[in-house]
């Protein structure tokens, strides 16, 4: 039996846009990039960002109202930072997560948050999470641990991310979203 596409739920996890060097807010170029990318996205039933201003500003510049902000999407944390570089890419996140440790626990917690969002979407609905480098990769790998992460490529750049398809009670596929 095939998957009915109208029953699938989707969650996009995107990295924030370009920020002012050394600052917390988006640069003019970052606002322009977020606007351009946002014009190709949505609509979304629910939008959640990290608590850091650049994530909120990215969602708004993309053209989406933010429903909630959560600290869990804000930082990898010192223990994870000691195990992996946030710019390592999907395959390396998969390798490190498979070892367990702080990165594995963090990915499981992120995947639970993404799954919770997906479960609360209507059939055929979509959600957007705007977060940071490393968190996109950890969440996507955590949601689809058995996928071929090497085929997903390098770490996500600004406004890039992953669109996860959710069917029933589990994630079934991922599409890496690159910005050109």
Considering the entire predicted model, what is its pTM? Answer: 0.93
Q: Are 50 and 69 in contact (CB under 8 A)?
A: yes
Strands (E), 51-92: 68-70
pLDDT at 1 (0 to 100): 36
Full strand arrangement of the beta sheet holding 170-177: 68-70, 46-50, 126-131, 9-15, 161-167, 170-177
Which CATH superfamily hosts domain 7-177? Phosphoglycerate mutase-like (3.40.50.1240)
pLDDT at position 5: 52
CA 114 to chain centre: 9
Q: How far apart are CA 33 and CA 179, in angstroms?
A: 9
Given this model, what pLDDT does residue 6 score? Answer: 66
- Give the residue among 116, 165, 127 at the shortest CA–CA distance from 6: 165
Q: Compute and round to an integer the Cα radius of gyration of the chain.
A: 15
| Sequence-separated (6 or more) residues with CB below 8 Å from residue 77 | 102, 106
Q: How far is CA 53 from the centre of its chain?
A: 16
**Which residues lie across from 49 on neighbouring strands?**
69, 130
- 10-residue mean pLDDT profile of the chain (180 residues): values are 65 97 93 98 97 97 97 92 92 94 95 96 97 96 96 97 96 96
Domain boundaries, the chain: 7-177
């Amino acid at each position: 039996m095939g998957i009915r596409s109208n029953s699938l739920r989707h969650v996009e996890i995107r990295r924030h846009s370009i920020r002012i060097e050394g600052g917390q807010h988006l640069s003019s170029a970052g606002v322009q990039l977020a606007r351009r990318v946002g014009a190709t996205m949505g609509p979304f039933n629910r939008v959640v960002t990290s608590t850091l201003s650049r994530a909120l500003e990215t969602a708004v510049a993309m053209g989406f109202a933010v429903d909630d902000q959560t600290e869990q999407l804000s930082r990898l944390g010192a223990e994870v930072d000691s195990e992996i570089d946030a710019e390592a890419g999907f395959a390396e996140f998969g390798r490190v997560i498979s070892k367990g440790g702080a990165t594995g626990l963090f990915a499981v917690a992120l995947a639970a948050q993404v799954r919770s969002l997906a479960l609360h979407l209507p059939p055929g609905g979509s959600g957007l999470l705007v977060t940071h480098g490393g968190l996109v990769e950890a969440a996507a790998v955590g949601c689809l641990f058995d996928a071929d992460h090497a085929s997903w490529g390098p770490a996500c750049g600004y406004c890039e991310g992953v669109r996860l398809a959710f069917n029933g009670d589990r994630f079934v596929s991922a599409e890496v979203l690159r910005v050109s």
